[in-house]
Copies of this chain bind each other. A is one copy, B any other.
Amino acid sequence: MIIVLKPGASQEQLDHIVSKVHELGLKTMISQGVERTIIGVIGEEDILRITPLEVFPGVEKVLPVLKPYKLVSREFKPESTVVAVKGVRIGSRSIQIAAGPCAVENREMLFATAKAVKAAGAGMIRGGAFKPRTSPYTFQGLGEEGLKYLREVSDATGMPAVTECMDPRDVALVESYADIIQVGARNMQNITLLRELGQVKKPILLKRGMMSTVKELLMSAEYILSNGNFNVILCERGIRTFEDATRNTLDLSMVPLVKRLSHLPVFVDPSHGTGVRELIEPMSIAAIAAGADGLIIEVHINPEAALSDGAQSLTPDEFARLMKGLAPVAKAVGRELQ
């Protein structure tokens, strides 16, 4: 940590800060420049996190040197994490695709969609039983009934099921049905939920908040890992910007960036990331080209009848075409579609 003093900071102020840092068991190194005095702090930076040094008289700013996360970092664990679920190895050389409806609406629709996406090459089924909708007046999901259908279809097809949990009280329930528990973008900083999920055995798919930095995404994952669950898959799903021609701005640069900073696998959700049906195929291909370990895509057997996000759902035919386009690009970047 580096403490930069104001131009006119007094010797007394300098002494006050230095003695405070020493009290905490840390060492200092003072560098008196022409215009500014700088204090380098040596030792465990964490100790300083709880001390509001910016508030001390004479301090202009405080520059942290170390990253605020540990367990999720590649420095902590250099080899890439592979999350294995019923034979699906996420984060391996093999690209994994989860597909299915935004929301589980009924048994028939779910089975028909699952059969179609499996035929096209998907390895996992996705579908929401609990939906965090912006409006209280729209479809909020089937709840446990939806979870049951998901379990059923997963068992029938052999595809692991991914579904969202949005309430800390539902964690045990969702865990009992799902193979991978999803944290939605709106809940990326729902700390109580993250803590519960850290105590679960099932892998977590953690979606980036629509206005969260990569650092904050890693900090949220750190909550889960530090509570005991190391099976976390990160997921880019678009961030909020001024551009309104797409629903969100899909930040693909985060894929190679996160792969450098962290050992955790990274998925991309081009459905929410663009919100525009025609853009899902090219952005899926681009995501794999950028190094993503997998995709999560909304597919509906009949988008016209979807109860949520119909406008960004692919038909099974569109999804099959996407999968065909994906294979040669996966190969071109040294990966493979399972």
Hey, which bits of chain A sit against chain B, CB under 8 A?
2, 4, 7, 20, 29, 31-36, 38, 40, 42-44, 46, 49-52, 54-56, 63, 65-66, 68-69, 75, 132-140, 166-169, 186-187, 189-192, 209-216, 219, 222-223, 226-227, 239-246, 249-257, 260, 273-274, 276-279, 282-283, 285-291, 303-304, 306-311, 313, 325, 328-329, 331-333
Residues of chain B with a CB closer than 8 A to A279's CB: 253, 256-257
Q: Are B190 and A190 in contact (CB under 8 A)?
A: yes
Q: Are the CB atoms of B36 and A65 closer together than 8 Å?
A: yes
Q: How far is the CB of A240 from chain B (nearest CB, A)?
A: 5
* Set of chain B residues within 8 Å of A2, measured between Cβ atoms: 2, 38, 63
Smallest CB-CB separation from A288: which chain B residue?
Answer: B289
Distance of A66 Cα from B307 Cα, bound (Å): 20
With a 10 A CB-CB cut-off, give which of A7, A54, A139 has the most chain B CB atoms. Answer: A54
Q: Are A222 and B136 in contact (CB under 8 A)?
A: yes
Q: How far is the CA of A271 from the CA of B273 in the complex (A)?
A: 23
In whole Å, how far is A228's beta carbon from the nearest beta carbon of chain B? 12
Identify the closest chain B residue to A261 (Cβ). B245
The reply to whether A242 and B241 form a contact with Cβ atoms under 8 Å apart is yes
CB of A138 to closest CB in B, whole Å:
6
Give the residues in chain B near A40, CB-CB below 8 Å. 31, 33, 38, 40
User: Which residue of chain B is the closest to A35 with respect to CB atoms?
Assistant: B66
- Find A34's partner among B43, B132, B252 (CB 8 Å cutoff): B43
CA distance in complex: A14, B272 (Å): 28
Contact A55 B287 (CB under 8 A): no
Question: Are A216 and B134 closer than 8 Å at their CB atoms?
Answer: yes
Say which residue of B31, B34, B253, B306 sits within 8 Å of A273 (CB atoms): B253
Instruction: Report the separation of the CA atoms of residues A306 and B54 in the bound assembly, to the nearest whole angstrom.
Output: 11
B187 touches A211 (CB 8 A): no
| Given A2-B2, A49-B135, A245 and B214 contact (CB-CB distance below 8 Å) | yes
Instruction: Say which residue of B168, B212, B283, B325 sits within 8 Å of A169 (CB atoms).
Output: B168
**10 shortest interchain CB distances as A-B pairs:** A52-B310, A211-B211, A289-B289, A54-B311, A328-B332, A286-B290, A256-B282, A167-B192, A31-B40, A332-B332
